Amino acid sequence: MLLNWKTGGLLLGLVFFGAVLLVKPIGVSTQFVILDGIIGDAIASDLVTRTEDGYTSTNAYLAKSDGKYAKAVSNPLNYSFVFVAAMILGGLLSSRLRGGIEKGEREIPALWRANFGDSKVKRYAAAFAGGFIVLYGARLAGGCTSGHMMSGMMQTSLSGYIFTLGAFAAAIPVSLMMFKKEV
What residues are paired with 50 via a beta bridge? 55
Would you tell me how many other CB atoms lie within 10 Å of the CB of residue 74?
A: 19
How confident is the model over 29-47, as pLDDT tens digits? 788 888 899 999 999 888 9
Q: How many CA atoms lie within 13 A of 58 on its CB side?
A: 6
Would you tell me how many other CB atoms lie within 10 Å of the CB of residue 144?
A: 23
**Roughly what angle, to the nearest 10 degrees, separates helices 29-43 and 60-74?**
80
SS3 state at 43: helix
Alpha carbons 67 and 126: distance in angstroms, whole number: 36
Q: Yes or no: say if 85 and 34 are a contact pair by the CB < 8 Å rule.
A: no
> What's the one-letter identity of residue 7?
T
How confident is the model over 52-105, as pLDDT tens digits? 989 999 999 899 888 889 999 998 888 888 888 888 898 888 877 776 555 554
Verdict on whether the full-model pTM lies above 0.85: no
